[in-house]
Structure 1
């Protein structure tokens, strides 16, 4: 028996070491894959209640006299509890026939009891906080699963979309020696077709482009079918997950399909498309297009352009991403940058204008 016990004792640390090592390896691989949601979930569940506690502390306005009075009240309650328990204990020991000697109720027992009660109160607050945090995570608009690793994947997909759009712009420019117009309007000001429509052949959508009757406006009945077709490169997965919880509802499958990206109206506007050589401020310092998450228009809408100077995530008619702190933008040189929404307005103005002559600093 002693041998078996010794063997079990020696084996326990061995298997514990293997389990801990395996846990570290799996955690490292998970983090490398960008799937940080298990650690994120555990962290939020264990610490999420602290925000509520801090909020209660900040909302409280207890003065020093009130704090002293509260401590004195707790001390009085503790003393009364001690004497009450002392009397009850003495009565119990007198009635007990098995006890040959009686002891008085000790002060340390009362103190221990008070500490235990305080810990129970604090534990109750923690349990309520964790329950609240769990409910908030379970019922939030965006599932916890998509708040970490998959959020990075969707942001990467959006950047890739913008890079494809940038390549299409440059291929169009190579073919026509200018960028497409922001929107075609006829002589009487009626909207015809958008910059996205002109880029379709360079977005691997040649067959869709050939279905469009350019002699008719984009909303003409003859053009309804092609403009109700999804162009996936114009859809930002982050916007879909933010507003539809990752699912395209049946009613959104019908009608004119959206574009989650808009052009810079300083470069593409009504019947206006610039040449790259006319952008004097530099292709790497000028915005060409960017993410939008409000006021979303159809990809066939000839008015799908905006002014970056309205700010980022600051106006329903401006640019903005589906995530916090900023949005992705396509620059004229084809690169994609994430620009914070707290960028200096003067720098944002310099990035928006193609020939403003402003100096673009760090951003």
Structure 2
């Protein structure tokens, strides 16, 4: 009997120790994620300084053409200063940020643009997200702000910070948001509610944490610091992206091994391996001839080597009809078309 009592006491002690350790482990992990997010902003801050040193100004918040086409945003322009020059060089700057030519880059997640404690990484259309947005006084439509315009000094001019929600694609050309007078007041605010505050990065590269109890007067001083663009320059589309935890999976379509072209699909899946979006791509196996290169400009050469999006498929897509109107109708053999059609229709049945 005494033996069983001793065993029971030991078990109770073990349970108590585990109960005491679990909160400490949780706090340690949360502190680590908080530190990672702070370091991400420091990386962006270093990119800010290096870009300014090279160009004597900050990049445009968003390059918007006269016809309203949104081209590239400020986070894209910092890629070469964040050890991502190869990805930057693959972007076609003469097309829109979300054009098929740029999907190879924009449909990726960039850890340095993500808060590791935020529960989302992609839009439901497959674009990698950012959990950091910029100061609309520095990043706005076709802006080119210089450090000299920051009348309160770089140490007192905020550049970017963690946002509480309504996340946007990192390549989106409208990645700025008003700071407001309080943090963590909803998905449209700055800060991270779980931490009861958030980090702000300043133009001198420093990063500081501000509590959600920070006085509105302090945040208002940051929010109103010059330069101050017009409301029209700071305007953003009234668009919200549906976001969550997704991942891309690529599947080859074995058709004709002797062809110059091959086809593959990319599936955007949720955590239980349920596909929610299908994309059909074509890639070229052969290299350009010298004569072909002479007839093309650099963007055309780059586009040739990048897989080409042929078709996006959801539950309502008439795949047979869509394939007839795509370039695949001329490029693929009848046998290839049959294999591709059957495979795509099989995958489509799995869509919710």
Normalised by the shorter chain, which TM-score bucket? 0.5 to 0.7
RMSD: 2.5
Instruction: Determine whether 1:308 maps to 2:308.
Output: no
Unpaired runs of at least 5, structure 1: 1-37, 44-142, 358-363
Distance 2:98 2:123 in 1: 18
Unpaired runs of at least 5, structure 2: 1-15, 229-352
2:170 to 289, 299, 311: 299
Contact 2:164 2:189 in 1 (8 A): no
Q: What TM-score do you get using the length of structure 2 for normalisation? A: 0.56
Distance 1:341 1:260 in 2: 18
Q: Give the corresponding residue for 2:225.
A: 354
Contact 2:181 2:217 in 1 (8 A): no
Q: Which aligned segments of 4 or more residues in structure 1 are displaced greater than 3 angstroms?
A: 38-41, 143-146, 251-254
Q: What TM-score do you get using the length of structure 1 for normalisation? A: 0.55
1:225–1:254 distance in 2 versus 1, CA, 3 Å: farther
Contact 2:199 2:210 in 1 (8 A): yes
Contact 1:326 1:338 in 2 (8 A): yes
Q: Give the corresponding residue for 1:150.
A: 29
Q: CA offset at residue 320 of structure 1?
A: 1.8
Q: CA offset at residue 343 of structure 1?
A: 1.5
1:145–1:192 distance in 2 versus 1, CA, 3 Å: farther
Q: CA offset at residue 302 of structure 1?
A: 0.6
The Cα offsets for residues 136-159 of structure 1, whole Å up to 9 and x where unpaired, read as xxxxxxx95763111111111111
SS across alignment from 2:29: helix
Q: CA offset at residue 310 of structure 1?
A: 5.1
The Cα offsets for residues 5-55 of structure 1, whole Å up to 9 and x where unpaired, read as xxxxxxxxxxxxxxxxxxxxxxxxxxxxxxxxx979428xxxxxxxxxxxx
Q: Give the corresponding residue for 1:265.
A: 136
Instruction: Determine whether 1:42 maps to 2:37.
Output: no
Distance 1:310 1:188 in 2: 35
Contact 2:64 2:71 in 1 (8 A): yes
Instruction: Determine whether 1:234 maps to 2:113.
Output: yes
Contact 2:123 2:169 in 1 (8 A): no
Q: Which has the higher helix share?
A: 1
Higher deviation after alignment, 163-172 or 229-238: 229-238
Distance 1:302 1:209 in 2: 15
Distance 1:285 1:307 in 2: 16
Instruction: Determine whether 1:207 maps to 2:71.
Output: no
Q: Which has the higher strand share?
A: 2
Q: CA offset at residue 317 of structure 1?
A: 2.0
Distance 1:145 1:192 in 2: 46
Q: How many correspondences in the alignment?
A: 213
Q: CA offset at residue 315 of structure 1?
A: 3.5
Contact 1:286 1:350 in 2 (8 A): no
